Structures are given as C-alpha cells and as structure tokens.
Amino acid sequence: MMDLSKNEYVDLREFIHGFFKVYYSDLDTKIKLSFDMYDFDRDGYVTKEDVRLILSHIPIVNTVEGKLKAEGAFTREGGGLQVYLDRVQTQEEISMLITNVFKDKKRISYEEYVDIIKEMTSEMFLSILTLL
C-alpha cells in the first residue's frame, strides 16, 4: 500500500506520500486505501478473517465499566478485568459486523466493499481512517 518501490521497506518519501494520500485525497481514494489495508494477499478481495484481524488490532475504547488505568495491565488492581470484558465485547461487535456485512459470502470485491461503505455501514472504513 505505501511501499511504492515494492522493496518491502517504506522509506520516508513513501511514508509522506501515504500520509498525504490519507489526508488530502478524495473519498474514493480513501476508500481504496482502506480496502488495500484489508486485502493482505493483494488478490482484489477481502475475507472475513482479514476484517476480523485488522479490526481486532485497532485500539479499543473502554466501554464496559470502570476506568482503564493502562493497556496491558492484566491484574485486577491494574484494570485487567475491564480490559478483558472490553475485549470480549469488542470481539462480539466485530463478529456481528462481519456477519451483517458478509452474510453468506466468504469474500468481497472492491466494488462490493464500496457498496457496503456507502449504503450499509462505514464502520470498516472509519475504523481504519480514524486509526491513521
């Protein structure tokens, strides 16, 4: 996606180009960029697992209860119970989103992705855009 020279290394020029692509491009370019982030094998399709994997690694917001002291504090005193409950809730929400978006399909094309973003839900798109 950002590796324009295809040398498996993102240099400063490529990073800046990608940065500007995110912030100063039109909606269609941003949608294509987000699709490319999900399309790991570059076959032109996104699978359920691609979406689950990406969305699972986007930082979560504490929504269950209590105040999260620090990510990775997996003790009861450090907020580990809330972290665990939030992660369970997040995975359930991701699973419901994937079920609603993919229905009985194993993968979706770029054209289907655009239709989903524009007509059903923009959650997959906005999650990545917000992270960037």
**CATH number for position 45:** 1.10.238.10
Query: Is residue 1 a part of any domain in this protein?
Result: no
- Dump pLDDT digits (tens) for 3-38: 778 788 788 888 888 788 778 888 888 899 899 989
Give the E-state strand segments of 4-129 in sequence order.
45-47, 107-109
- Residues paired with 45 in a beta bridge: 109
Query: Is pLDDT of 65 > 90?
Result: no
| Per-residue pLDDT at 57 | 83
Query: Is residue 99 a part of any domain in this protein?
Result: yes
- Dump pLDDT digits (tens) for 85-127: 777 888 898 999 999 999 999 999 999 999 999 999 888 888 8
Query: Is residue 29 a part of any domain in this protein?
Result: yes
Which structural domain, as residue segments, surrounds residue 48? 12-131
| Per-residue pLDDT at 50 | 93
- Whether this prediction's pTM lies above 0.85 is answered by no
Looking at the 3D structure of the chain, how many domains does it have? 1
Query: pLDDT higher for 131 or 43?
Result: 43
Nearest-10 crossing angle of helices 123-131, 80-102: 130
